[in-house]
Amino acid sequence: MNSHNVREYPRRRGSGRLVVVLLTAVLAIAGCAGGSTGSTSPTSVDMAAALKQPATLTLWSWVGGLEDEIAIFEKKYPNIEVKVVNAGQGPAEYQKLRTALSAGEGAPDVVQIEYQQVPSFTITNNLLDLMPYGANDIKDKFVPSAWQQVTQGNKVFAIPQDTGPMGMLYRQDILEKHGIAVPRTWDEFADAARKLHAADPSTYLTNLPPNEGGAMTGLLWQAGSRPYRAAEGTELTLNIDDAAARKVAGYWNGLVQQQVVAADADFTDQWYQGLANGKYATWLTAAWGPLFLQGTAKGTAGKWRAAPLPQWSSDEKVSGNWGGSTSAVTTQSKHPEAAAALAMFLNSDPESTRMLATKQFLFPATKALVTDESFTSQGLPFYGGQQVNKVFAGISETVRTDFTWSPFQDYVYSAFTDTVGKAITDRRDLPSALRDWHQDVASYAQKQGFHLTS
């Protein structure tokens, strides 16, 4: 990612309670199109003929500098013109998008949407199923964990653009100073946390952010927690406090209660200072983290390295995902064939995807790039010359592929901050807070008209 997008990316925790009002209205008329007046997916499409017709498309994206990628597309399809609009990042864009969709006009043809937000727009029937437009023909170009997040049954509602496989950035100098090996398992991580803090009370092995539902979700994802399973319509299986989640909560509860990990809100001045002054010896982050850190803690250049997340079992190699976006086509589009072609081309064409990775610095969602030596072999001086892209490319292959999102992830993250996050801050019992998180979300879901199973 570029430095601006990297700094902002993990802060997009969602617009919180905004979704309450929106879903209430939608679920009262479940099955309606949510105010959209445009196209619905046909059974088959003659794309070749349609793409010869004149069309002007609007693309909403907060990724800057897409002119070169768009120029390649327009060269291939000279009758199609694309206008790029930055309608805001994350929640700001979603609010404008929902307003336009509800009004029945003003929505873009193609829109950037984070993975966790896709279900909140599909439940309102506002995203086009791209299967009839040829989306399945490019399925094998993407890493499985990314493709799985944009599909529901035999439908494809978005095209992956970038991903956030989770790993660990660590201060090699701090660990070596205290004779601590890079933790390979969570048991080793806990032992290292206690040893480091005992040796230097001003230093913590890591920080567990109380305001970051995305980070916690990535850790739950890695552990095998599967909190949401959507069926038809408003049928939803909800298990935020499933066995894997309880394991994670119990693990971190011990470290939080012993006060051997920090509990600072991230992306705050205090947190930035902690990264820069050595308060945290590791950062459990995603593939966008290395570049972000490089711009945030310049004085620590050469001291950091990258590694996979610690594992629950020494014979495992699994991870979760935190972050990443897609390109989706709205049902308001008057040129669905051209819009679908843009979403697919932008994120699968070799030249376009290479630009996204090397110019916008988005971590690739395509198999071709995560296995491309020219991308993975670059040594970064900030990380002592380590080939950090190669580390995260390897992690990308280990992200579990059976995780699905709720239809109201904004609310889920808001409830996390109010329950588990508050317990982290106050260093109270995390398993109890996990149950509170589940109950809060379950109550909300039922009020919105969802029928819950466990």
Q: Is 420 exposed, middle or buried (0-12, 13-18, 19+ CB in 10 A)?
A: buried
- The predicted pLDDT at position 15 comes to 35
**99 and 242 together in one domain:** no
**188 and 330 together in one domain:** no
- The predicted pLDDT at position 13 comes to 37
- The predicted pLDDT at position 2 comes to 35
Which residue, chain included where needed, has tokens 């023909």?
A: 137
- The predicted pLDDT at position 20 comes to 42
Q: Is 63 within a domain? A: yes
Q: For residue 380, what are its two tokens?
A: 């970064």
Q: Is 10 within a domain? A: yes
**307 and 444 together in one domain:** yes
**281 and 419 together in one domain:** yes
**207 and 152 together in one domain:** no
**155 and 264 together in one domain:** no
- The predicted pLDDT at position 167 comes to 98
Q: Is 395 within a domain? A: no
Domain assignment of residue 109, given as a range: 3-163+323-370
**252 and 113 together in one domain:** no
Structural domain count of the chain:
2
Q: Is 392 within a domain? A: no
Q: Is 7 within a domain? A: yes
**149 and 228 together in one domain:** no
- The predicted pLDDT at position 41 comes to 65
Q: Is 385 within a domain? A: no
> Residue 98's closest CA among 186, 210, 15?
15
- The predicted pLDDT at position 35 comes to 38
**19 and 110 together in one domain:** yes
- The predicted pLDDT at position 33 comes to 36
Query: Which stretches of 226-363 are assigned E, i.e. beta strand?
Result: 228-230, 235-238, 282-286, 304-308, 325-329
| pLDDT tens over the chain, length 454 residues | 333 333 344 433 333 334 443 454 444 434 333 333 344 567 778 999 999 999 999 999 999 999 999 999 999 999 999 999 999 999 999 999 999 999 999 999 999 999 999 999 999 999 999 999 999 999 999 999 999 999 999 999 999 999 999 999 999 999 999 999 999 999 999 999 999 999 999 999 999 999 999 999 999 999 999 999 987 788 999 999 999 999 999 999 999 999 999 999 999 999 999 999 999 999 999 999 999 999 999 999 999 999 999 999 999 999 999 999 999 999 999 999 999 999 999 999 999 999 999 999 999 999 999 999 999 999 999 999 999 999 999 999 999 999 999 999 999 999 999 999 999 999 999 999 999 999 999 999 999 999 998 8
Q: How far apart are CA 259 and CA 255, in angstroms?
A: 6
Amino acid at 313: S
Q: Is 121 within a domain? A: yes
Q: Is 72 exposed, middle or buried (0-12, 13-18, 19+ CB in 10 A)?
A: middle
Here the CATH number for the domain that contains residue 50 is: 3.40.190.10
**206 and 243 together in one domain:** yes
Q: Is 427 within a domain? A: yes
**212 and 309 together in one domain:** yes
**85 and 218 together in one domain:** no
